[in-house]
Chain A
Amino acid sequence: MIKLRKKVYMTAGYNTISLGTGRREFHPKKPRPGIEHYIKEAGQGTLNQIGGAKNVDEGAIGNFMAPRFNRQGNLPGFIPMIDEELQWKPCTSTEGACGSGALALMSGIKSVLAETADVVLTVGVEVQNTMKAIYVADVLAGAGWYQKRKNGHAYFFPGQFSDRAGAYYEKYGMEYTRKGFCRWFVNAIENARLCPTAQEYENKVADLEALYNKMKPNGKAFVDNLTVFDCSKVSDAASAIAIVSEEGLKRIGIPKEEAVEIVGWGQIERNVTYDPPDLTELTAIKKAAKAALESANITIHDLATIETHDCFSIAGILATEAFGFAEPGKGAQFVADGNTARDGKIPMNTTGGLIGWGHPTGGTGVHQAVTIWEQLTDKAGKAQIEIPKDRPYGMTVNMGGDDVTVVAIIYKRG
């Protein structure tokens, strides 16, 4: 990759709560805030930290399926709704399934690099509780190839990743693998309990391991190789962050220490009409992480924390292998041994990730960036982990579809 000709920073992150089952505020039969509410709350949350909308040059919004979940298209038009002073400014929206959020981040990063903007307000949003889970599954199936929908599972994506889990069980053993899954789940909930905006923040189950192990995969009711505890939930949420140049930082009056520097990325696209080359490998994630680390000229051992796309526990396990922390087949062990826990070798998903914090599909990429920004700038509150001085880096990995649209970004403490 060409060396960056300009420094790019992110700062002033903001998350709404992740609303859905598990949150006290959630009641399936009561009216809930619409997509407008989330965009506005997250956007204003960032604007309040950067001296207001007058400082913004451009807006970008990541979203997956508002046209179906909310019967709403033309999302760039909602950015001026956040604040009157955004009216008439250039805005864009990005869609790449659950990787939409990171595409919005990339849009902002590229605008700053192109020197067409010094401050980009970036929002990621999805409001999915507008329908029952069985219909949500239809909408999310749009992240795969529609030609394959007919033969897919009722719960299409859980079905895809159930097949990955099944392939992994077959190669390395089911009981062994599910130990890793179980630990991944426990870590996710425990981390979410430290983050007030997380969907599982109020999860009070005393023995999470027992809860996880009590439920066995049942293909008649759900999918063959996963249970609901292996899956992220249906979430409504938005996140926002400002992407700025050095000049932009001065304009908004934020010191570098309160920002993270973007030092590299890898953006990878896999042909959505192809089946994955290997069910037990996240090939696109592997390539994206490698490209990101190389562009930043660091190795995985320089990373203090990672936010990875654990839409399913198996995706978390496979990611540890794709990043190079574990050999193929050893990811489940790596996780089961606690290496990805908040006090482990490489803490992952420190506010719960997709399984614990929530998975507002098109918003997740931005949420991951906000979490890394919080951790590297000491703003993560009770969820704060220790960032070693010699490892000032963090990474986000956002995935759309089954390892199709992938962006990995490397952040450095400012």
Chain B
Amino acid sequence: MNYEERLKNVTVLGAAGKMGSGILLLTAVEMADISLKPENRTKTYVLNAMDVSHEGLAGLLKYLKVQVLKIAEKKTVLLRKIYADRTDLIENKDIIDQYVFDVINIVRPVTKLEATYDSNLIFEAVSENKDLKVKLLSQIDSNNPNDPWYFTNTSSVPINVVEKEAGLEGRILGFHFYNPPAIQKLVELIVTDKTKKEVVEFAKTYAKNLRKIIVPSNDFAGFIGNGHFMRDALHAITEAEALAKDMPFVEAVYMVNKVAQEFLVRPMGIFQLIDYVGIDVVQFIMKVMNPFVKDEELHSSLLDKMIELGVKGGQKSNGSQKDGFLKYEKGQPVAIFDPDKKEYIPISEFKDKCDKKLGPIPEPKLSWKSIIRRPDKDVLLKDFFKTMKTMKTFGAELAVKYGKRSNEIGKKLVADNVANNENDVNTVMLTGFFHAYGPVNTFFD
């Protein structure tokens, strides 16, 4: 079975979810492009969008229509060539509409697992629950005569555990997209000791056709991305809790968040990132990872407390940010949650006091937005952090400590053999988290 044959019948499990919908979109487009080749025109391509939620699947089709339209509008020059023999399609609009139809026409929204029994390839993007994953995959595998291949999008469960428990020997690998899959360039590729070579070859071709950057990660819970993020988040939480002994909790959160974003020149503050991913998701990933890590405890009672109080973060179905540690108006943080008072305190009430305590940002000021596309950003950052190290302000000291911790986490991922080298760690943080620099650097030495 070659690459194109493998893609004749595919299933995405959890297709209506945040990650599943993106994976479904990219796969549908890839399959449609194959189906439109002259030699494939008579063949039928099937992409099962499997999800338990009818509402979710209805929303998925709306999402697909909007996204495929955007994709078609961007590649109309090429599409005119693909449809050159269709004399009935003349204007760009005719061609774009046809392409949108041809992509969506491949997708079969389904809610019953039976539909997956004909597939050659299964993408798994259900919730981060090992037992659920094992149950679904083993049920499919015992009913599907094709010996299908399984690509799991798990960000935390070790692949070999799923492989073993579901009895998928050699036919599974981790193919971890970053959120949102349609935009983020990074895919972490995780193989087990048994994963067959041809499965890996296929995964590489598929990633290349989707224009994704692959970073191999070894099969340790959390892999590289969450391996860094979870520990980085725990550092921030620990720092904030320590500061909160001498000041109100909301002020501590504000300062650590600001240090991460403005002093460390990141795309967003750390508590904002936790909210973006979802406090519940972060809690859950730590819980999944924790049994697999030895000399440390990946757990935060603060996260537990937030969840107990019903403060979860995450995104609404329209993509806007739900309130978490921070409260958002038009995407901008405006208040911070006080778990004792159980209410949000406006940032404006303590901003000036906290900014004064943190002290100024090193001059010349850098922001993530101003440097992210600059080819000379490493030089600028080096000077920026050099100046920071000479400053004895509260903010500068917090930032340097934070930068060092991030560096340490990055190096530990290599030492623990999660990542093959420091460069892979940096690539994950640069492309999956949009950082302006990798955690393994010499800026804070």
Residues of A within 8 A of B (CB): 132, 134-135, 137-138, 141, 146, 149-150, 153-155, 219-222
Contacts and interface: CB of A to CB of B under 8 A. Distances in A.
Interface in B44-81: 73, 76-80
A141 B92 CA distance: 10
A155 B75 CA distance: 12
Interface string B107-132: 00000000000000000000000000
A154 B76 contact: yes
Interface in B79-100: 79-80, 87, 90-93, 96
A154 B90 contact: no
A52 B76 CA distance: 49
B373 to A, nearest CB: 14
Contact of A222 (B77, B91, B96): B77
Given A138-B92, A154-B76, 6 more contacts: A134-B92, A135-B93, A146-B90, A150-B90, A154-B80, A155-B77
Consensus secondary structure, chain A interface = loop
A248 B79 CA distance: 56
12 contacts: A134-B76, A135-B92, A135-B93, A138-B91, A138-B92, A146-B90, A149-B90, A153-B77, A219-B77, A220-B77, A220-B78, A222-B77
B77 A138 contact: no
Contacts of B77: 153-155, 219-222
A149 B76 CA distance: 14
Which among B79, B91, B93, B96 has the greatest number of chain A C-beta atoms within 10 A? B91
Interface of B: 73, 76-80, 87, 90-93, 96
Contacts of B96: 134
Contact of B87 (A150, A154, A221): A150
A134 B97 CA distance: 13
Contacts of A134: 73, 76, 92, 96
A221 B80 CA distance: 12
Nearest to A137: B92
A132 B87 contact: no
A327 B142 CA distance: 79
Contacts of B79: 154
Contacts of A149: 90-91
The 10 nearest A-B residue pairs measured at CB: A138-B91, A154-B76, A154-B77, A138-B92, A150-B90, A134-B73, A154-B80, A134-B92, A134-B76, A149-B90
A221 B73 CA distance: 11
Given A132-B73, A134-B73, A153 B80 contact: yes
A141 B76 contact: no
B75 to A, nearest CB: 9
A327 to B, nearest CB: 35
A223 to B, nearest CB: 8
A138 B93 contact: yes
Nearest to B72: A134
A222 B77 CA distance: 7
Contacts of B90: 146, 149-150
Contacts of B73: 132, 134
